[in-house]
């Protein structure tokens, strides 16, 4: 089931704020994706490789698939050429693998680097130092088959506005350091915190439960 009121509200929000709405369809039926597709929506987010591959094969080719889950290196090959954007690139090793597989397929894979934001909620993401080192290699041309389009972050699973503000602001300050015509997306904000995230600089929000209902 898709909440169409919520979809319209989020579309309106994104058009006034100038952000991209990613409909996070993990664990949801293809039918639900098609409901939004038929409204003209094209950006969908998935977290699990096997589930994504099934949907990729079954659904229209002009969908922009955002891979937003944690990606293991041994699964990169399966995604190559199928994603619009991979959000959670959380290590140099993973970036090397994505570059290698894209090279073999003679294409360029678009990615976001994931910055570690929360204290203990998620162990994934680079710290400031790692990001700096990886960005240096990127600007010196070490990864010719990836295009790094910005940063992604996941804030703590908390309703404490102060904590969330601190985390999103940190992401924004790092984003601003590297911002360019190509490095232009800050992917942050989910159903519970997207308004705060966009107020603090996010221009790409990933919304699941508000659109498709809760997941069990």
Ligand X SMILES: *Cc1c(COP(=O)(O)O)cnc(C)c1O
For residues 70 and 52, the answer to whether their CB atoms sit within 8 Å is: no
Which residues, numbered 28-57, are part of the site for ligand X (CB under 6 A)? 47
- Burial (Cβ within 10 Å: 0-12, 13-18, ≥19) of residue 36: buried
Measured from the CB of residue 25, what is the shortest distance to ligand X in angstroms?
10
207 contacts ligand X (rule: CB under 6 A): yes
Shortest CB 214 distance to ligand X, Å: 8
User: Which candidate, 101, 74, 92, 189, places its Cα nearest to that of 131?
Assistant: 92
Pattern 135-164, binding to ligand X, x per CB under 6 A? -------------------x----------
DSSP string, 16-72: HHT-EEEEE-TTS-HHHHHHHHTTT--EEEE--HHHHHHHHHHS-TT-EEEE-S---
Number of residues that bind ligand X (CB under 6 A): 13
Give the footprint of ligand X on residues 55-94 (CB under 6 A): 68
> In this complex, which beta carbon is closest to ligand X, that of residue 144 or of residue 186?
186
Residues near ligand X, by CB under 6 A: 24, 26, 47, 68, 154, 190-192, 206-210
């Amino acid at each position: 089931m898709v909440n169409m009121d919520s979809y319209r509200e989020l579309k309106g929000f994104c058009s006034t704020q100038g952000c991209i709405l990613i409909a996070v369809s993990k664990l949801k039926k293809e039918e639900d994706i098609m409901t939004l597709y038929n409204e003209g929506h094209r950006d969908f987010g998935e977290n699990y490789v096997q589930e994504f591959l099934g949907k990729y094969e079954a659904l229209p080719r002009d969908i922009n698939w955002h891979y937003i889950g944690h990606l293991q290196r041994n699964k990169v090959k399966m995604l190559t050429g199928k994603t619009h954007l991979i959000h959670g690139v959380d290590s140099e090793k993973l970036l090397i693998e994505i570059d290698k597989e894209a090279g073999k397929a003679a294409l360029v894979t678009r990615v976001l680097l994931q910055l570690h934001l929360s204290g203990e909620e998620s162990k994934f993401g680079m710290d400031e130092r790692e990001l700096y080192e990886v960005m240096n290699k990127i600007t010196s041309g070490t990864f010719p088959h990836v295009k790094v389009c910005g940063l992604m972050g996941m804030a703590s699973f908390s309703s404490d506005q102060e904590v969330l503000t601190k985390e999103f602001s940190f992401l924004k300050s790092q984003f601003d350091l590297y911002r360019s015509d190509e490095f232009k997306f800050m992917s942050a904000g989910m159903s519970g915190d997207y308004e705060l995230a966009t107020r603090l600089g996010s221009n790409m929000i990933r919304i699941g439960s508000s659109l498709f209902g809760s997941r069990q």
